Structure 1
Amino acid sequence: MKKFVYLICIIVLATLPCAAQKSYIITGHISGLKEGLIVQLVEKSHGNQKPFNAATVRDGKFVFKGSQKDPRGVLLLIKDSYGSYSFILNNSKIVMTGKAVSTKVEGKDSYHFEIFTKGSSLTDQYLKKVSVRNELNQMYDAKSKKYTNVWDRYYSARNKKDTVLLKQIEQSEEYKAANQAEANFFKTVEQKYSQVVRDNKDSWWGPFLMVDLWNYFDESAKPFYNQLSTVAKNSYYGKMVQKELFPTDYTGKQVPQFKLKDNDGKLVSLAELCKGKKYVIFDFWASWCHPCRMEIPNFKKLYTAYADKGLQIISISIDKDESAWKKAVAEEKMAWPSYLDRSEVASLYNVRAIPAIYLIDAQCKLVSDKLRGESLANKLAELFK
């Protein structure tokens, strides 16, 4: 009889549903991390997210504890350093093993992680879904290596303002081939990424992979969003994508106010920078952004033509490396105010792609945020007529 009761107990326990785990524990054993380093978790997005959890390396090990209601794409990184490892966080027991190799990049530690994650089936799925990125990285490296000389010569000539040499380079077959290779590469990227989204359009994976694979969204991303299912659009990442793709239109309205910090630490407001001006252009850019730096000669022409008539230009760099920003400013010799975005102004304006150019009037009302190059020049010619 006792044996019979015992068997019943085993059967009942075996058939009870498993209680869903209500928290996560991440244990990391990563060689190459020095004692006392701060390891951080940051949510993946196109904005500047702040760490939501942190742990200290002790005896070669770190431990994170917390709770996560829904799956989130997360970056594991070292505080004040470059490099990260991507994974999917949910309530589970996760063990990370591997190594981190540190090098110096412009005086700052940069980590390359080789990590194996156990206990996270969602991370396993994620790595399979984004494996196409490895193929594209190899294509990009091959393209860059093949045409590095022509691009080096091109930028050198442009920085020296050697228009004769610049024209010769632009007319060369090598330069034309480099541009065509660039166009072909990005066409391949679009085709590969679009297939990944289509394959995952019916769940939160679809919009999450859009956030993960794209560095920023522009008009070309809207068809991908439109093909998502209702379930996917209503998910956390679906709403994130929707907000980024369809931001608030400030045309004719006052733009959000902000303050920038100059090199002396003094705060300067947008209102102060606009004072006494008829129109103001503020441009979000970065030292590493090729299209941004191609736009600077256009700004110089506009500044020469209209500065005395009431035009102000403000350059706001989103560079993370201050020395790289200072070097680029010195090279470009801008005659107008230039600031490093230390106050997260780009996040305030939901900047996702650069260059991002805003033209406002004396009342800080937006005239347009869709003008560049010739269209911007034509608009200013009309306004200053």
Structure 2
Amino acid sequence: MNTIKFKILGFCICLLMFSNNSQAQKKSVASSSSYSFEATIKGIEEGMTVKLIPGATHSSDPAVAETTVKNGKFSFAGNVTEPRLFYLVFGKNQGFISVMFENSKMNLTSNAELGTDENKRIAFKNTVFTGSKSDAYFKKETAYRDDLDKAYAAYHTKESDEVSKLIGQARKDKETKKLDSLQNLPVWKKFEADEKAFFTNVEKSMTDLIIRHKDSWWGAFFMMSQFSYLTPEQKPLFDQLSETAKNSYYGKLADAEVNPKSLVGTNVAAFNLKDKDGKSVSIKDIAKGKEYILIDFWASWCAPCRKEIPNLKKAYEEFATKGFEIVSISTDDNQKAWNTAMTKENMLWPNLLDNDVVSKSFNVKTIPATFLMDKNGTIIATDLRGEALDAKLKELLKS
């Protein structure tokens, strides 16, 4: 199973309760059950918006509060039931600072440098955040990531990068002999061994961090913050957490991912997505007159997805005249790559581009992912591929 998209391990968090009324924020006084946060940033644009974006939720959550910069300053106030990490997002996603809130009086200072690029990215330097013991502890416990960054850079040599490019081109051109020759080079063998060792070390470092904190909410928090996403594969790790950790805010989020509810028996919500020409297409229109519809999530870069396409073509050829339809939904970020892959694969059924909302509604974490629904919009099976898909369709479309 491939990930939907490659991501670095993220650090984000959400506030449980938050006041976005600026006057109320100014009047709020930090106590044991509330916090105050004040920031002073030199060089920041006057009137720039600052949003608080939830994170460590593995979802694209909207801002929970928003304010504007005045004379280089801004503030927030509220309360949290547990320490929470979140992003301060500046302007139109031009820059961010991650901070961990707890119920205390907190202060942040930094220097901002506005970039000259098209997006006017902001670089923050000399950032100092005080008043949050949780933030300091979080940074101390995740300092191991700096060593991992250095280890990653160390085995990615100029020579190995050049061989990697040649291997990619040979694979694309289907030059089997050249591919075998390149993959047997000593430099590539060493790179593969180093990479395997690196990712083994990454997994061990993350797991050790979580297990050390398994008796408190920190264990669940580290599980959510150190993994870009969770699947049932991480259930054995989650099961080692204490009941306190599992019942914490982050514990409940992790639980929902490692113990996902089956979508079988649920109805597919109506949705519209765009095709390659930018035309909005409704799943309801596609499903009209069809007995069964296979919703297939894939991407141009996903090798297992591309490998499955011949099986889909076979099923489509055999059952399309009997009321079977396929809707392929690409999770590609690069529309050009998507268009190129569609042309090359010559898929004869509807192809749409995901908007990051539809895939989330299906709780898609990895691809390929398929959902078979009937004419009433009810999901009757998931993850059918190859012979399993063929057998199911034969069972359903006997006539």
Q: Does 1:20 align with 2:61?
A: no
Q: Which amino acid aligns with 1:186?
A: F
User: In the TM superposition, what is the alpha-carbon distance from 1:52 to its structure 2 partner?
Assistant: 0.6
User: In the TM superposition, what is the alpha-carbon distance from 1:204 to its structure 2 partner?
Assistant: 0.8
User: In the TM superposition, what is the alpha-carbon distance from 1:77 to its structure 2 partner?
Assistant: 1.9
1:91 — aligned with what?
103
Q: What's the Cα RMSD here?
A: 3.1
Q: Which amino acid aligns with 1:197?
A: I
Query: Is the 8 Å Cα contact of residues 235 and 259 (structure 2) preserved in structure 1?
Result: no
Q: Does 1:215 align with 2:224?
A: no
1:358 — aligned with what?
370
Closer/same/farther in 2, CA of residues 256 and 33 from structure 1, 3 Å limit: farther
User: In the TM superposition, what is the alpha-carbon distance from 1:128 to its structure 2 partner?
Assistant: 1.0
1:298 — aligned with what?
307
Separation of aligned partners in 2, 1:92 and 1:32:
27
Separation of aligned partners in 1, 2:122 and 2:381:
41
- Aligned 1:284-363 pairs, distance under 5 A: 285=299, 292-309=301-318, 310=320, 311-317=325-331, 319=333, 325-334=334-343, 335-336=346-347, 337-342=350-355, 344-351=357-364, 353-363=365-375
2:297 — aligned with what?
283
Q: Quick one: which of 83, 90, 93 aligns to 1:71?
A: 83
Q: Which amino acid aligns with 1:208?
A: F
Q: Which amino acid aligns with 1:282?
A: D
DSSP-derived class of the 1:84 partner: strand
Q: Quick one: which of 129, 151, 159 aligns to 1:139?
A: 151
- Structure 2 residues not aligned, in runs of 5+: 1-28, 395-399
1:30 — aligned with what?
41
User: In the TM superposition, what is the alpha-carbon distance from 1:19 to its structure 2 partner?
Assistant: 8.5
2:243 — aligned with what?
230
1:195 — aligned with what?
208
Percent identity of paired positions between Structure 1 and Structure 2: 26
Query: Is the 8 Å Cα contact of residues 257 and 271 (structure 1) preserved in structure 2?
Result: no
User: In the TM superposition, what is the alpha-carbon distance from 1:194 to its structure 2 partner?
Assistant: 1.0
User: In the TM superposition, what is the alpha-carbon distance from 1:27 to its structure 2 partner?
Assistant: 2.0
Cα deviation 1:224-277 (Å, max 9, x = unaligned): 2111111111111111111111111123x2453241331676543333334436
Separation of aligned partners in 1, 2:200 and 2:267:
35
Q: Quick one: which of 260, 266, 282 aligns to 1:269?
A: 282
User: In the TM superposition, what is the alpha-carbon distance from 1:111 to its structure 2 partner?
Assistant: 4.4
Separation of aligned partners in 1, 2:387 and 2:151:
39
Query: Is the 8 Å Cα contact of residues 261 and 268 (structure 1) preserved in structure 2?
Result: yes
Closer/same/farther in 2, CA of residues 206 and 269 from structure 1, 3 Å limit: same
Number of residue pairs aligned between Structure 1 and Structure 2: 351
What TM-score comes out, normalization by structure 2 length? 0.76
Separation of aligned partners in 1, 2:185 and 2:116:
36
Closer/same/farther in 2, CA of residues 196 and 230 from structure 1, 3 Å limit: same
DSSP-derived class of the 1:141 partner: helix
1:247 — aligned with what?
260
Closer/same/farther in 2, CA of residues 37 and 196 from structure 1, 3 Å limit: same
DSSP-derived class of the 1:333 partner: helix
1:7 — aligned with what?
none
Cα deviation 1:330-360 (Å, max 9, x = unaligned): 3423544444433612332233x33250231
Separation of aligned partners in 1, 2:368 and 2:112:
35
Q: Does 1:54 align with 2:54?
A: no
Closer/same/farther in 2, CA of residues 28 and 284 from structure 1, 3 Å limit: farther
User: In the TM superposition, what is the alpha-carbon distance from 1:59 to its structure 2 partner?
Assistant: 2.7
Query: Is the 8 Å Cα contact of residues 207 and 233 (structure 1) preserved in structure 2?
Result: yes
User: In the TM superposition, what is the alpha-carbon distance from 1:297 to its structure 2 partner?
Assistant: 2.4
User: In the TM superposition, what is the alpha-carbon distance from 1:214 to its structure 2 partner?
Assistant: 0.5
Separation of aligned partners in 2, 1:342 and 1:370:
21
Separation of aligned partners in 2, 1:24 and 1:88:
12
